[in-house]
A and B are shown apart, each in its own frame.
Chain A
Amino acid sequence: MQVQKVLLAEDDEHIRFIMKTGLSKLTDWQIFEARNGLEALDKAVEVKPDLILLDIMMPHMDGITAFKELAARNDLSHIPVIFMTAKVQYEEIQSYVELGARGVITKPVDPLSLPEQILAILSG
C-alpha cells in the first residue's frame, strides 16, 4: 500500500507536533492534522488520506466515535485507521481491534520508530 497522505488526529498539541515533525522528517508523507474527532472527520472528507492515525481520548468527539463515523461512511470506510492510545490494558486494546481498526500503537510513541511501526501494521 502506498502511503502519501496521513491524517494525524491528536488533541495534545505537543504530541501532535512531535509526531508530525518526526514523520515529516523521516518520511515524504504529507501530514494533515486534526485536534479532535470532528476535525478528523472533516479533514478526512477533505483530503481523503491514505491513513488516519487516531487518538482515542479527544475532546468533542473521541477516537472511537470518530472511527465509527468513518466506518459508517462509504467514502471513508476504506481508509485504514490506526489507533494511538495511552490506555494499554489488554482488554482496552482488544476492544479497539475488535472495532475494526487496522492496528493500535501505544503511547509513549517513539517518533523515530513510528514510520516503521505504521508500515509494519499496514503490511501485516
Chain B
Amino acid sequence: MQERKAATVNIVRTSLVLVLIGLCAWGKIASDQQKFLLANRADLIETYEMGLSLEKLKSRVEDAQIAERDFLIGGDTIDVQNCFAILDEIDRLSQQLSQNRMMKGEIRQAWQAMSLQVQRRLKDLRALAAKSRAAGKKHPLSTDEILSYDSEADDNLEAISRALDDLKAELAQERAQRRGLVQEHSEIANLQMQGLLILSVVALTLSLSWIFISLNRKIRLGEKVEHDAMQIRQSRDKLDVVLSSMGEGLVVLDSVGTIMMANESALSLLGYDRQDLLGRNFDDMLEGAAAGQSQSHPILQSAGDASIKHRETRIRRRDGSILPVSMTASVYSMADQKQETGYVVNFYDASRRARRENHQSTSFEVLRHLVKHEPLHQVMPPIIDTICHKLDWHFGELWLIDRADNSLEYFMGRGIESDVMQKFADSTRRMQFDKDTGLPGIILRSKKPTWFEDLQIDAEGNFPRKDAASEAGFKSACGVPVLLDDNVFGTIFFFSQEFRSRDDEELKLLSGIAFQLALFIEREQAQDQLIESRERYRMAIEASQDGIWEVSLVDNTAFWSKRFKAMLGYIDAETGKELESFDPNPEIFFSHVHPDDKADLRRQFEESVAGERQQYRTLYRIYTRSGELRWCQGRGKLIFDREGHPIKMIGTTRDITEERQAREKLTESERRFRAVFNTTFEFIGLLDLEGRVLDANKASLKFIDCKLEDVLGQYFWQTPWWNRSPKASALVQAAIQNARQGRFDRLEIEQYGAGEQKSTVDFSITPVFDEDGQVILMVPEARDISSIKDALSMVASSEAMFRRLAENIRSIFWIYMPATKEFVYLSPAFELLTGRKISVVLADSQEFFKAFAPDDQAGVEAVITSNIEAMGEFKIRAAGGNDCWLKIRSFPVLDENNNVIQLCGIADDVSDRKAADKRVSEFYSTVSHELRTPLTSIRGSLGLLEAGIVGELDAEAKTFVTIARGESDRLIRLINSILDLRKVEAGKMEFKKENIQVEQVLQETVAAIDGMAHEQDVSLGISPCDDPDLSCFADRDRVVQILTNLISNAIKFSPPGCTVQVAASREGDMVKFFISDDGVGISNEDQEKLFGKFQQLDSSDARAQGGTGLGLAISKALVIQQGGDIGVQSQVGQGSTFWFTLPAFEQES
C-alpha cells in the first residue's frame, strides 16, 4: 500500500515537473510569437502613418507646384517664398520620413530619388528667385526662361509626384505583406495561447495533487518513526538474547582495547567471570600481543579493513592454557562520530578445526609427495618427515612384504635427528620378520590400524625391538597396514617418546595415507612391470626380423619399428642409422605398396578397421625408398579397449623376398628335376631303405606300361621290370643290399618291358646319405644300352671295313688331330712308299713331313694342317731313292657345332702324270722352239725386205713380200694361241685378279679396237652401264683379251655399215658382258661347236678374216678359269650377241 502511494507520489511529482517544464517552454514560444506579432503590427501602423505622410507630402508638392506656377506667372516673390516654404517643408518631411524604420529597400531608393528631385528643385528655384531679386522687376524673367523653367518645373514636380506615387505603391505592397503576416501569426499565437492555458491548468492541478500527497506522507512518516522505535527496542532485546546464547565469544572493546562488554561464550572461552573480565585489556588475552599496546595485535590492526576475515590465533585463558581460536575484529563508531570509538571482537574455539586442518594438510602434503612420480625410496622420507612433524611423532618407518618369501622387510625409517633415533634406525635396518613377528606382524595379522598407548604393555610380548625402542625412549606407537582391497603391501609405523592416547581420527588419517601409499606402491610395481614389459616388448621388436607397426584409430598416427623402417629403406639395417625421416602416417606406408597390391591391402586393412574382420594376413609387394621391389607378408590385428571399442591396429610385416626367391628356386629346381626326371629316356627311380619303390620316372613306367601307383611301395626286385627274370631279380636285390650298406653297385642286365620288349641296360644303384653318413634312400638308374651295343657292333664292322680299305689302296690315307698335332692313323701305303715306319710317324708327326723334299716340307705341312680343304703336289723321296710326286688333299672333319675335330688326308702318287705333263710341256716347248726359230728368220727377212732396209723392192715384189710377211705373222699368232690355250687349259695361266671398273675397261678396249671397226666400216659403241661404278673381280689383261677377241670377231663378221654394241650389267653375283652385232647370225647347230678348237665355221672365213680358229676357245678357257661362263644368242640373219660373265667380287676359295 505504502509502495503504491509512494509510486503515486512519484508519478504526480514527475508529471508536475514535466508539465512545468512544458509550460515554460511553451510560454517562451508563445511569448516570442507575441513579440513578433507586436513588431509586425507596429510596422503595419508605421506603413499607415507613412502613407498619411506621403499623402500629406504629395499634397504639399501640389501646393508647391501651384506656388511655383503662380510665381512664374505672376512673378511675385511671395509665391516664391511660399514655394520655398513648401519645398522646405517637403524637405523636412522627407528628412523625417527618411528616419522611418520602414524606409528601407526599394522604398528607400525611391525616397532618396524623390529627395534628390526636391533638392534639385529647390536649388533651381532659389537660383531663379535670386535672378528675379537681382532684376528687381516685377517680372524679371523672360518668357523663354519661364517657359524653360516651367517645363523643367513641371517635369521635376511631376517626377516628385510620381516618385511619391511609387513610394505609396511600394508602401501599400509592404503593408499588404505585413498584414498577411500579422494575420497568419495571429492565428498561431492564438493557438499557442490556448495551449499555454491548458498547460497552466494541468500544472495547477498537479501542483494541488502533489501538495495533497506530501501532506499525507508527512502524517504517515510520523507513524512509521514510532513503529521503528518499537522495533529497535525489540531488536535490542533479541540481540541480548542472541549475544548471550551465541556459541562464539564476543567482546566489545574501547579504543585502547579495554573490554567493555563480553557475552557468555567469551567468558567461557577466556575462563573469566564477567566482573573479572570487564575492564581488562583484551591484548593481555592474545598470545603474541605486546601488553598494554592497543592495536598491537594483527587482529586489531586489521580491524579497520573493509573485508572481515577470520584469523587463526591463540588466546591465553585465565588458567594460562592456550586455546586456538578463529577471530575477527571490527571497528565500531557512533553514528554521529567519524572517529573510531572501539572494537567488536568475536572469536570461537578453533582447536578441532585446527586439528582437522592439520590432518588435511598432512594428507595433502603426503599426497603432494606421492604424485611426484618419484620412486618410493625418494618419496617416503618427506612423507615420514611430514607425518612426524605434523602429527607429533618422533620416528616413522615403513615395512614392505617381500613377495618372494612373504616376509616383512624393513624398507625405511626416519626420525628427528638424534643419536638414539639413529641407533634405533640402524638396529632396525637389517631386520626381516616373518609376517607374524613384531609390531608390523601384529598389524599384518589383524590388517587393522593399531594404537599402542604403552609399547611395553600393548606389544603383547611380540616386540623384538623392545630394548632398542626403550633405549630410544619410545613410549607409544601406532601402525596401519598398507592395504589395498585385501592386498597387503606392508605397514607404516610411528613412534612417540611420549605417552599418547589412542586417537581414532589420527588412525583414520594414517589409514587413508596408507591407502594412498598402497596405491602408489601398486602403481609403482605396475609401472615396474610395465617398464619391464615394455622393455621386453621393445627388445622383442628390435630383435624381431619382422617389421612391427601400430596405427592408432583415434588420431590415425602410426608407430613403425626400426626393422620396419629398415625394411622400407629408411634405416640402414647394418648401422641402424636413419637415412631419412619417416613420417608416421599410414598413407606414407601405402605409397610404398606396389600399385597392383595397394587396393587389396587397403581393403583388408579397412575391413579390419571397420570390424568386418578382426585380423588379416596377406601377401603384397613394396618398393623400398631406393626403388627395390620386395615381397612382404603382412598381418594386421584389431585391438579393442576394455569397453570393446577398437583403438588401434597392430601388425607385422615380414620381408619374404629371399624366402620367396628360395621357394621359387626350390620350385624351379623341383620343376627342373621333374622335367629331367620325367623326360629322360633313362630309367630312374627312388627307393626307401627296404628297397620299396618311392618314385619312378615316366620313361621307366612307360617301359612296363604301368602307372606309378601300380609299383608304389612294391619291393623293387619284384616289380614288372625284373620279375620276369629270376636271375635279373636276384641281381637287383643283391645290388640293393649293397647299396643299403652304402656301396654303389653297377651291372649290365636284361630288363623286360611290356609285351616282348627286352633291353640290355646298364643298371646302377646309388645310396643317398644324410648329413651323418647314414643311407636314407637309394636311387636306381638303368640306361638302355641295346642301341649302343648295336652301334658299337656296327662301328667295329665299319672299322674293319675301313681298315681293309685304307690298308689295301695304293693311296696314302691319314687322320691328323689338329688339337694334339698328331697323326692318329696313317695307312700302310706310306710305309710302303717311303720305307718310313708308321709307328714312328704316329709318335712324331714331323717324321711324316721329313719324308718330302726339303723345299716342299713346309708346303706339305701347310696343306695337311690347314683347317680348310687344301690340295698340293709335292715331291717325296721314295724308299728306292728316287723322287715321287704326291698329290695331297686334306679336308676337315667337323662335329655338330662345325668345329674341326680331325683333318683327314689322302695322297696319291702322281709321278707318272707329272712325267707325262713334263713330256707334253717339253713337246710344246720344243715344237714352239722349232717352229719359231725358222719363223724368226722368215719373219725377220720379210720385215727387212718389206721395210726396204736392205734395198727397195719393186711394187710387185713388195706385194708378195707383204703377203709372205702377213702369213708368217698369222702363223706366229697360231703358235702363240696354241700355246696360250694349252697353258690355260693346263691351269698354268696365272691370273692377277683385282677389282676392275667395267665401264673403264670397256671404253679402253673399244678405243683400242675402234680403228679396226673404222676400217671395216662398222659402227662400234658402248651402252652405258646402269651402275657407273660397276666392277668385277678378274684379271684385267685377260678381260681385255676376251673383250678384244669377241669385239674383233663381231667386227670381222659384220658387213660394212653394221653396228657392234658393247654393254655390261650386274646379274646377281656376276657381271655380264654383251657384244652384239647385227651380222649374219649363227645357226643353233653352229653355236654348239663355236667355242671348240679350230672351229671357224667356214674355212674360207678363216682365211678371209686371218683368224686362228682358237680365239673363242681361248676366251672360253679364260672365262671359265676365272669362275665365269660364256655363250652366244643368235639367229641366222638377225645378228648375234656373245656374252660372258665374271664374278662381281672376290669369292671365297
A is bound by B: yes
The answer to whether B936 and A86 touch across the interface, beta carbons within 8 angstroms, is yes
Determine the chain B residues whose CB is within 8 A of the CB of A112 once the complex forms.
Answer: 943-944, 947, 949
User: CB of A97 within 8 A of chain B?
Assistant: no
The answer on a CB contact under 8 Å between B940 and A18 is: yes
Residues of B within 8 A of A41 (CB): none
The residue in chain A whose Cβ has the minimal distance to the Cβ of B936 is: A108
The answer, yes or no, to whether B293 is at the interface (CB within 8 Å) is no
CB contacts under 8 Å to B, within A1-57, are 12, 14-15, 18-19, 21-22, 25-26, 57
Q: In the complex the two chains form, is A111's CB within 8 Å of B944's CB?
A: yes
Interface residues of A in 102-120 (CB under 8 A from B): 106-112
> Which residues between 895 and 930 of chain B lie within 8 Å of chain A, taking CB atoms?
921, 924-925, 928-930
Beta-carbon contact of A18 and B925 below 8 Å: no
B932 within 8 A of A: yes
In the assembly, what is the distance between CA of A90 and CA of B933, in Å?
18
Smallest CB separation, B962 vs chain A (Å): 13
How far apart sit A86 and B930, CA to CA, in the bound complex (Å)? Answer: 8
- Roughly how many angstroms separate A90 CA and B976 CA in the complex, as a whole number? 12
> Contact at A91–B988, with CB atoms within 8 Å?
yes
Residue of chain A at shortest CB distance from B933: A86
CB A88 to nearest CB in B, in angstroms, measures 6
Inter-chain CA distance A18–B979, complex, in Å, is 26
State whether A108 touches B939 (Cβ < 8 A).
Answer: yes
Complex Cα distance, B924 from A90, in Å, reads 12
Query: Size range of the interface on B?
Result: 20 to 34
A109 close to B936 (CB less than 8 A): yes
Q: Verify if A78 is at the interface (C-beta below 8 Å from B).
A: no
- The interface residues of chain A lying within 8 Å CB-to-CB of B925 are 87, 89, 92
Cross-chain contact of A19 among B921, B930, B940 (Cβ < 8 A): B940
Once bound together, how far apart are the Cα atoms of A106 and B113, in whole Å?
A: 172
Contacts of A57 in B (CB 8 A): 929
Contact yes or no, B940 A12, CB < 8 A: no
Bound-state CA distance A94–B130 (Å) is 187
Other-chain residue from B930, B932, B949, B989 in contact with A88 (beta carbon distance below 8 A): B932
Interface check B941, CB cutoff 8 A = yes
Closest chain-B Cβ to A84's Cβ sits at a distance in Å of 9
Interface hits, B960-1003 → A, CB 8 Å? 968, 972, 976, 979, 983, 988-990
Which of A15, A21, A89, A90 lies in contact with B936, CB distance below 8 A? Answer: A15
Q: Is B950 part of the binding interface, using a Cβ–Cβ cutoff of 8 Å?
A: yes
B933/A15 in contact, CB under 8 A = yes
Is there an interface contact between A107 and B943, defined as CB atoms closer than 8 Å? no
Knowing A15-B933, A15-B936, A107-B936 touch, does A86 contact B988 (C-beta < 8 A)? no
Does A18 contact B937, Cβ atoms closer than 8 Å?
yes
| Chain B residues whose CB sits within 8 angstroms of the CB of A106 once the complex forms | 932
Q: Is the C-beta of B935 less than 8 angstroms from some C-beta in chain A?
A: yes
- With beta carbons under 8 angstroms apart, the residue of B930, B935, B944 that contacts A108 is B935
Q: A86-B929, A87-B928 are in contact. Are A108 and B938 (CB under 8 A)?
A: yes
Known: A107-B933, A108-B932, A109-B936. A21 touches B983 (CB 8 A): no
Cross-chain contact B949 with A25 (CB below 8 angstroms): yes
Please name the residue on chain A nearest to B941 by beta carbon: A18
- Which listed residue, A22, A89, A91, A107, touches B949 by the CB 8 Å rule? A22
Q: Is the CB of A86 within 8 A of B924?
A: no
**CB <8 Å contact, B928 and A110:** no
How close is A29's CB to chain B, nearest CB, in angstroms?
15
Partner of B940 from the list A89, A92, A111 (CB cut-off 8 Å) is A111
Contact A107 B932 (CB under 8 A): yes
* B933/A88 in contact, CB under 8 A: no
B259 to chain A, nearest CB (A): 170
Minimal beta-carbon separation of A28 from chain B (angstroms): 15
Give chain B nearest CB distance to A62 CB in angstroms: 12
Number of A-B contacts (CB under 8 A): 83
When the two chains form their complex, are residues A90 and B983 in contact, meaning their CB atoms are under 8 A apart? Answer: yes
Give the CA-CA distance A21 to B968 in the complex, in Å. Answer: 20
Contact B943 A15 (CB under 8 A): no
User: What 1/0 mask marks residues of chain A from 59 to 92 whose CB sits below 8 Å from any chain B CB?
Assistant: 0000000000000000000000000011111111
- For A14, what are the chain B residues with a Cβ–Cβ distance below 8 Å? 937, 941
List chain A residues, Cβ under 8 A from B990. Answer: 90
- Which residue of chain B is the closest to A57 with respect to CB atoms? B929
Instruction: Tell me, in angstroms, the Cα distance from A87 to B935 when the chains sit together.
Output: 13
Measured in the bound complex, the distance between the Cα atoms of B941 and A112 in whole Å is 10
For A26, list chain B residues within 8 Å (CB): 949
- Chain A residues with Cβ below 8 Å from B979 are 88-89
Convert B1040-1071 into 0s and 1s, putting 1 for each residue whose CB lies closer than 8 angstroms to a CB of A: 00000000000000000000000000000000
Task: Give the chain A neighbours of B935 by CB distance below 8 A.
Answer: 107-108
Contacts of A19 in B (CB 8 A): 940
Q: Are A89 and B933 in contact (CB under 8 A)?
A: no
The minimal Cβ–Cβ distance linking B937 to chain A, given in whole angstroms, is: 4
Contact B933 A22 (CB under 8 A): no
A93 to B935, CA, bound (A): 19
Docked Cα-Cα span, A106 to B972, in Å, equals 11
Contact flag A18-B944 (CB < 8 Å), given A88-B928, A90-B983, A91-B988: yes
- The residues of B that contact A111 with a CB separation of less than 8 Å are 940, 943-944, 949
- Cα separation A12 to B989 with both chains bound (whole Å): 30
Which B residues lie within 8 Å of A107 (CB)? 932-933, 935-936
Task: Chain A residues near B933: list those with CB within 8 A.
Answer: 12, 15, 86, 107
Residue of B nearest to A24 (CB): B949
Residues of A within 8 A of B944 (CB): 18, 21-22, 25, 111-112
Give every chain B residue within 8 A of A88 (Cβ-Cβ). 928, 932, 976, 979
Which residues of A are found within 8 Å of B943, using beta-carbon distances? Answer: 22, 110-112
Min Cβ gap A53→B in Å is 13
Asked if B947 and A21 make an inter-chain contact with CB atoms under 8 angstroms apart, the answer reads no
- Bound-state CA distance A73–B418 (Å) is 148
**A108–B976 touching, CB < 8 Å:** no
Contacts of B968 in A (CB 8 A): 108
Contact between A89 and B976 (Cβ–Cβ < 8 Å)? no
Closest to A113 in B: B943
Within the complex, the shortest CB–CB distance from A80 to chain B, in Å, comes to: 22
CB of A91 to closest CB in B, whole Å: 7
Across-interface contacts of A12 in B (CB, < 8 A): 933, 936-937
Nearest CB on B from A36, distance (A): 15
Cα–Cα distance between A20 and B950 once the two chains are bound (Å): 12
A21: B residues at CB distance < 8 A: 944, 949-950
In the complex, what distance in Å separates the CA atom of A109 from the CA atom of B936?
6
B682 to chain A, nearest CB (A): 65
Most chain A C-beta atoms within 10 Å of own C-beta, residue among B921, B931, B936, B990: B936
Q: How far is the CA of A48 from the CA of B381 in the complex (A)?
A: 146
Chain A CB within 10 Å, residue with most, of B930, B935, B941, B983: B941
Within the complex, the shortest CB–CB distance from A83 to chain B, in Å, comes to 13
Alpha-carbon gap, A18 to B968, bound state (A): 16
Q: Are B937 and A15 in contact (CB under 8 A)?
A: yes
Closest CB-CB distance, A15 to chain B, in whole Å? Answer: 5
A25 touches B950 (CB 8 A): yes
Q: Which residues of A contact B989 (CB under 8 A)?
A: 90
- With A and B bound together, what is the CA distance between A26 and B940 in angstroms? 13
Q: Is the CB of B976 within 8 A of A22?
A: no
**Min distance, Cβ A98 to any Cβ of chain B, angstroms:** 14
Bound-state Cα–Cα, A22 to B988, Å: 35
Provide the residues of chain B in CB contact with A91, threshold 8 Å.
988
**A residues with CB within 8 A of B:** 12, 14-15, 18-19, 21-22, 25-26, 57, 85-92, 106-112
- Lowest 8 CB-CB distances: which A-B pairs, in order? A86-B932, A108-B936, A18-B940, A86-B929, A14-B937, A107-B936, A108-B939, A108-B935
Give 20 A-B pairs besides A89-B924, A107-B936, A112-B944 with Cβ atoms closer than 8 angstroms. A14-B941, A21-B944, A22-B940, A22-B943, A22-B944, A26-B949, A86-B936, A87-B928, A88-B976, A89-B988, A91-B988, A106-B932, A107-B933, A108-B932, A108-B936, A108-B937, A108-B938, A108-B939, A108-B972, A109-B936
21 A-B residue pairs with Cβ-Cβ distance under 8 Å, sorted by A, are A12-B933, A12-B937, A14-B937, A15-B933, A18-B937, A21-B950, A25-B950, A26-B949, A86-B928, A86-B931, A86-B933, A87-B925, A89-B925, A89-B983, A90-B983, A108-B935, A108-B936, A108-B972, A110-B940, A110-B943, A112-B947
